[in-house]
Amino acid sequence: MNASNVESLFKKNIFKICLLAFAGSIIYGLPYFRYYYYDAYLAAYGLNNTQMGTLGSAYGLLGLLSYLIGGVLADRVPAKILLIFSLVATGLGGFLHILFPSYWMLVGIYGAWGITSLLTFWPALMKVIRMMAAESEQSRAYGLFEGGRGVVNAAHMAIATAIFGIFQAKAAGALGLKWIIVFYSIAPVLCGLLFCIVLKNIETKTEERPGFSIKNVIYILKMPAVWMVAAITFSTYIFNMSYFYFTPYATNALGISAVTAAIITVLAQYCRPLASPLGGFVADRFGKSQVMFLGFLVMAASTFTIINIPQTQNQIYFLIIACSIFYLAMYSNFGIYFSLLTEGGVPLEHAGVAIGFVSTLGYIPEILCPYIAGKTLDVYKDATGYHIYFTGMIVVAVVGMALTFAWSHFYAPKKNALTVASIEKQGNERG
């Protein structure tokens, strides 16, 4: 395969990446929609707050335990089969949600979604995205994927809100929830069926499928690059789980109205489609770790600005600008970190295990951040609690800067040297 063919992989697969982005968004509609209709969900299914939390724990715990197992599975089973199964099974779980809405049945369904949307889905999905682009195009592929997810998130959330609003106006909120579930159940099933037709030959014939071996797992765990990517992912994901607190900070500490403050959270979904693809393209051109370093620096500066916004009539405008810059940097980094695995020398045949391991450690903030933030805000009242938590975010950004700086010195030069050597070798062979 010549260089021009390799370089065209990303362009050839843009439609498939967009379709994968749709799948990577819509499959999480069912596990997470209850957060957006919290009170209505409690009333419709007769739950208390503890039971509601248990549903999330069932999903999150099985999901966290699933990533590494899913990574091993992604290296052994064709990704197309895993993706189709995951989408269809998740959608069928939605129909079970409607038919058998007892509390313990819901716990079982949410636990099952932890398997179908994470174990059999996420590592395979990330591995397929890697296959959609050449090594020099990895960041833009992951960036387009994350940006596409942002567009789809905004679209399906608007549709679900419209469905709920129609029934809520008729004092039938419970019925509105059921139709939202129907919508979120049909969409992934249809997407899975479409994958049967569209995702053909997504894996190369030369790709080896190693049988499960502890040696393969140990091989990945011995790679310092994998641990560094996990640490960078962990640092990045902390911000993804923390920006929600900008809204209550605006209302509780700055005295901004709830409606106006809600704009701050909504802005994130509008920044994501721009930031992730753009960050990916820039990272492929100027360096992944360099762009992520800048992203952490901007997030630190933006968070510092948010803490120190003056109490003036124009404070909402300062807050919106600071948060928008923060979101652009956050989602730029969010679309890059998995592409570091290629730069770190992780072989494609072991990519599933590496992605599973990175996800297992990197997504721990999904469990830690809500607890730490809640505890901090309960102990330290008013603005003090928010300032302490946001200061912690700045410290994490500094750690992220240190990690990406180290990566640029230990791995990026090595990757560049290998690329130059490969080009020279091809030139000698042609000569």
* Residue 123: predicted pLDDT: 87
pTM comes to 0.75
188, 245: one domain: no
Q: What is the pLDDT, as a whole number, of residue 211? A: 54
pLDDT of residue 108: 94
Distance (Å, rounded) from C-alpha 270 to C-alpha 48?
Answer: 33
| pLDDT value of position 404 | 96
Q: Are residues 231 and 316 in the same domain?
A: yes
Q: How many domains does the chain have?
A: 2
Instruction: Mark whether 63 and 167 lie in a shared domain.
Output: yes
Q: What's the pLDDT tens digit per position in 250-264? A: 888 888 887 677 778
Based on the domain organization, do 293 and 157 belong to the same domain? no
According to the model, what pLDDT value does residue 66 have? 76
Q: Rounded to an integer, what distance in angstroms lies between the CA atom of residue 400 and that of residue 300?
A: 10
Domain boundary among 200, 227, 260: 200
To the nearest 10 degrees (0 to 180), the angle between helices 14-26 and 122-131 is 170
Contact 130, 342 (CB under 8 A): yes
DSSP 371: H
Q: What is the pLDDT of residue 351?
A: 82
The token duo for 64 is 């966290």
State the pLDDT at residue 382: 83
Residue 63: give its domain's CATH number. 1.20.1250.20
Structural domain contains residue 206: no
Domain range for residue 224?
A: 213-431
Q: Which of 146, 3, 121, 136 is nearest to 62 (CA)?
A: 121
399's CB contacts (< 8 A; 6+ apart) are 235
| Phi, psi (deg, nearest 5) at residue 345 | 85, 20
In a domain, 280, yes or no: yes
Q: Which of 176, 200, 224 is the last residue of a domain?
A: 200
Look at residue 423 in the predicted model and tell me its pLDDT: 33
The parts of the chain modelled with pLDDT lower than 50 are 1-7, 204-207, 416-431
Query: Running DSSP on this structure, what letter comes out for residue 380?
Result: S
State the residue for tokens 């679209």. 155
Cα 203 to Cα 52, 197, 348, 357, 392, distances in angstroms: 40, 15, 10, 22, 42
Residues 283 and 189 in one domain: no
Q: Is there a single domain that holds both residue 141 and residue 273?
A: no
Quote the CA–CA distance of 264 and 312 in Å, as a whole number: 18
CA 10 to chain CA mean position, Å: 20
